[in-house]
Each structure stands twice: as structure tokens, then as C-alpha cells.
Chains A and B, each alone.
Chain A
């Protein structure tokens, strides 16, 4: 574990860049613990222009000038000058840059993006599940799905503290024999591992909880998480509109507000920071391109936590 910690941050990633990124880093720099530093990577003048208008502590921030910020950040990490990368850039570009500079952990040959999302148990209590891959690549073979399951289980152990997290494959049906070939083949392979594999789940089951780790190919995972986020956003926007339209709605919503706010927080993707890119020997966090400064700051915090807990080594130890 490094004594000092430097997080390299791609200042150009995301729809709100560089303002959202710089604002997040500015806020973090003001409260950063001793020995924690941030390297903002991107075009120098662009970053400088935003930074000068932002509350920040420059003692904690270095600006690294680059027109290829993801590549440059990976270079810094490979050279030992930074410890982790946070970016809201295109996941495919991030994976390509990481592949060029970092090593895969032993027994893993495909990286996966893992993210947590809220679920509810039968008693209405809040829970969280982990889903991977959510977009590091589009397709995955049965062998890749098994590797994702191994990495996901280890990450879930770190995040939730469960010794034996349950793991399931996302498919078109809860029946393990009905689904794409790679999924039915992965069912067979996973049944022969020591993992707590519970079979397949369909889309209906995903937000209902009960499974700690859900494994799927990147295309399906990305779609699933975005539908959940989009549905929650739309529902709350409808409530907001209703609130301003009718007095009766306003009163009703006022009464429900504490509970609704709690649900809002639970389904708010900004709370979860970003998705760790599992499978490399370095920490990489991919944030949602829609990230606000708060979401971005949470992604940077997740990166710091992952470095402090030496996530890549833990994944390597569990999968080798």
C-alpha cells in the first residue's frame, strides 16, 4: 500500500467536462487527507481556465498537460507516478489504454466493469447487488463469464463483507437450459466451481434482489443498469411535474417526501461513484459520462478506497 496516494483523473471525460471533473477534484482537494494528491490530466489551458474559477487547494493538485489524457494517465500509473485512474471516457478506449500499459491479473484475460445497484428484498429493505460486465466489452464467451463471476465474487466480498456471495448469470429465463449458448455453457462451467452459483435470473428478477453478483456480457449489463437508472429518473421527474401541477398532488407528495427522498438516494447512480474495471493489475474506475461533480467525487473516492484496499492484488489472489 503506497504511503502517498495520487489519483490520475481524466479531465476531458464526460458530458460536463472539464467543469464537472475540475469542480469535483477542487472539492476533494480542500478536504484531502495528508498524502493524498490529484493529477488532472488533459489540455493544460483548458483545465487552468476552469481551475482558476473553482474553489480548490492547489497544493494537492498537479495539472498534467496532454491531448491523450487516458493514455497519459495510464502511462503515469505504469511509471509509478500515480496509483489509479478515474475517467468518464469511453469504456472501450479506457480498456484499450489499460491493455497497452497494464498487466492482466493471472487467469483473467478479459476485463469487466462492475457496478453496484439498489434492490429491495421481500420485506422492503434496501439491498445492493453487483452486476458485471456493464460495458468493458460488448460480447463475452462462456469462459469470460466464468472469469467475470470469479472477479465479481471477490469484489462483492470486499464491498459487502459476505464470505460466500451468491452469484447468478443473467439470461432470458430462470431456466438454465433456456438462453444463449454462451450462457448455458457458462452454467455448466460455473456449476463445477466452488462459487456459490445459484443458476440464472431474468431481467424481472434483477431489481427484486436476492442475488449478490449478477454476471452478464457487457452489452446486456450496460442496457440493464441504464434501464434501471432511466426508469428511476423518469419516475421522479413525473413526481416533480405532478407536484407543481395540482394542489392535491403537492399535499400527497409532501406527506410522502421523507420516504421518497430515501428511495431517490438509493436509486441515485451518483451515490455509487463509478464502476471499477476489474482484471488489470492497476486500479481503474470508469464514471458515468453524465456524472455531476458529486458523482465524480464519489468515483475518485472509490478509486482511493480501491488502492488502499489493494483491490487488484485481492482479485488476483482469488482468481489464480
Chain B
């Protein structure tokens, strides 16, 4: 029972590593999944070479969404920002390591979609 909520997901939900704010950021975006009530805010700072030097999320969301945001931050921090638009939905599912129903897939993908939006809007 509760296979969806593996230790990694619960840990990241309860003690996310990348939750918070950045003093000076270059990009930001808000995302929400209105049906279930997930809300996320991203702050990103890129250096002149286009590398992600800071990445924080402020989520009011379910465990799947929060864990997804936090694991994505692991992936993208100190990496070239081009990695973000190149990341696929499949990569997120793989990162979470759990099978997701169509509804939960929306929770899992909200952080990535919002992050992509933050870069597009700059």
C-alpha cells in the first residue's frame, strides 16, 4: 500500500532541500494546478554564461509536486539553463521513480512547466 509515496518522495515533501527564496534572481514564475490546489513559485538566477547559479521553489502543493520540484532543482542547479527546456515529461517520471496516473502526472509536471515558463518570459 501507498507505493506512490516512497521514502524519497516523503522526505522531499517534509524536508525539501531547495525550498525558499533568492535575494536577487533573474527569472521567476508562478504556476498552479487549480483542480487540486497545487501552487508553485520559482526563483532562478542565471549567470552571464547562462548557468543556473541559484534555484529555489516555494510550493504549497502535494507530495508529488513538491518532491518533483525539489528533485528538479537538484538536476538543474549549477547546470546550463538550456537543460530546462530540453527536459521531457518522461525524464520527470523517471526522476520520481513511481508510476503516475494522468491526474498525478499533472502534479508531477507542474514544477517543470512553470520553470520552462520562467525562462520563456524573461
The answer to whether A and B assemble together is: no
Binding site for A on B (CB under 8 A): none
